[in-house]
């Protein structure tokens, strides 16, 4: 059994999709990141970086529970464990890994920062908003171009690279970009979204996000500042 520690967020949705695609038995443990649950010593013992997702595999190969953080590493681990969604041939394997790395290094961080500057930054932070909006546009365009050349992100087959990018691609309208301007991205989003495992993974998502909203409503201003890491530094 795999225990997934998470919240209603795209990096967690990636892992939910993979667990459903692989048919692995799993359970969800909700971490209250708005109430500083990620800084609890019991949680930082699992992930010293204090972020979700984290998984603990209670059926790991050596018979001992095995814990991982970082969604890309988790997807690779589950692909290795099950032999699914990561091609065996070297070129196919690294075509998948390079797009997975692009998601981890660029799509997630840039779109995540755009979320922050759209929702949480003061109006004086215009420079950051423009910067991350431009980066988001560049990345949505890159994905659209790639999906005009290839059925799936990494090649002809659905893989962990698709699972990593899909939850972030859903932000395109939220970020104020016209979906109609990127038809290839739209074709692929519909294709991936129609998979039964993806629908199952997203099934409880609205309820999880409602719990997050409740956690957030109950959080203290200090907790919210800690969540955004916008506590005034004592030294620079
Ligand atoms: N690179 C990490 C990013 C993890 C991450 O930023 N997780 C967010 C949720 S999607 C989180 O834990 N936010 C709470 C916080 O930053 O305190 C991954 O892909 O796992």
- Ligand 1: residue of 52, 67, 164 to mutate (most ligand atoms within 8 A of CB) is 52
Angstrom distance (rounded) from CA 103 to CA 118: 20
Give the angle subtended at the CA of 132 by the CAs of 162 and 151, to the nearest 5°.
Answer: 20
CA of 109 to the centre of ligand 1 (A): 10
| 34 and 123 inside one domain | no
| 171 and 96 inside one domain | yes
pLDDT for res 234: 63
Q: Is residue 236 part of a domain?
A: no
Q: 10-residue block means of pLDDT along the chain (236 residues)?
A: 98 98 97 96 98 97 94 98 98 98 98 95 91 98 98 98 98 95 98 97 92 96 90 64
CA of 31 to the centre of ligand 1 (A): 11
Q: Is residue 235 part of a domain?
A: no
- Ligand 1: residue of 15, 40, 51 to mutate (most ligand atoms within 8 A of CB) is 51
Which residue in 135, 115, 90, 95 sits closest to 11, CA to CA?
115
| 127 and 62 inside one domain | no
Taking each helix axis from N to C end, the angle separating 196-203 and 205-218, rounded to the nearest 10 degrees, works out to 30
Taking CA atoms only, the protein residue closest to ligand 1 atom 12 is: 51
| 180 and 209 inside one domain | no
At 164, which CATH number?
1.20.1050.10
Q: Is residue 234 part of a domain?
A: no
At 47, which CATH number?
3.40.30.10
| 133 and 221 inside one domain | no
Decide: 47 in ligand 1 pocket, CB within 6 A: no
| 131 and 168 inside one domain | yes
Number of independent structural domains in the chain: 2
**Quick one: which atom of ligand 1 is closest to the CA of 69?**
20
| 104 and 154 inside one domain | yes
Please state the φ and ψ torsions of residue 197, each to the nearest 5 degrees: -65, -35
CA of 69 to the centre of ligand 1 (A): 10
Q: Is residue 53 part of a domain?
A: yes
**Quick one: which atom of ligand 1 is closest to the CA of 33?**
14
| 142 and 78 inside one domain | no
| 113 and 189 inside one domain | yes
Taking CA atoms only, the protein residue closest to ligand 1 atom 11 is: 51
| 109 and 32 inside one domain | no
Domain with 204, as residue range(s), is 2-84+200-228
- Ligand 1: residue of 4, 11, 113 to mutate (most ligand atoms within 8 A of CB) is 11
Task: Give the start-end residues of each E strand in 22-87.
Answer: 26-30, 54-57, 66-69
| 56 and 79 inside one domain | yes
| 108 and 71 inside one domain | no
pLDDT for res 73: 98
Decide: 9 in ligand 1 pocket, CB within 6 A: yes
Token readout for 63 is 């018979």
Task: For the full predicted model, state whether its pTM sits above 0.85.
Answer: yes
């Amino acid at each position: 059994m795999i225990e997934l520690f998470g919240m209603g967020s795209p990096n967690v949705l990636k892992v939910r999709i993979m667990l459903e695609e692989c048919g692995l038995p799993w359970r969800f443990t909700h971490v209250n990141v708005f109430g500083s649950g990620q800084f609890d010593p019991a949680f930082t013992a699992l992930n010293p970086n204090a972020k979700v997702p984290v998984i603990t595999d209670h059926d790991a190969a050596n018979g001992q529970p095995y814990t991982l953080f970082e969604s890309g590493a988790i997807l690779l681990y589950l692909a290795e464990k099950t032999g699914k969604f990561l091609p065996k041939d070297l070129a196919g394997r690294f075509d998948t890994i390079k797009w997975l790395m692009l998601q981890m290094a660029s799509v997630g961080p840039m779109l995540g920062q755009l979320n922050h500057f759209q929702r949480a930054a003061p109006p004086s932070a215009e420079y950051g908003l423009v910067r991350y909006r431009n980066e988001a546009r560049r990345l949505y365009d890159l994905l659209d171009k790639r999906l005009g050349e290839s059925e799936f992100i990494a090649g002809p087959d659905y893989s962990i690279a698709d699972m990593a990018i899909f939850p972030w691609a859903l932000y395109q309208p939220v970020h104020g970009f016209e979906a109609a301007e990127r038809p290839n991205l739209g074709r692929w989003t519909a294709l991936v979204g129609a998979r039964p495992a993806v629908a199952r993974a997203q099934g409880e998502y609205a309820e999880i996000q409602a719990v997050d909203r409740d956690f957030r409503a109950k959080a203290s201003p200090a907790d919210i500042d800690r969540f955004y890491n916008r506590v005034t530094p004592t030294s620079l």
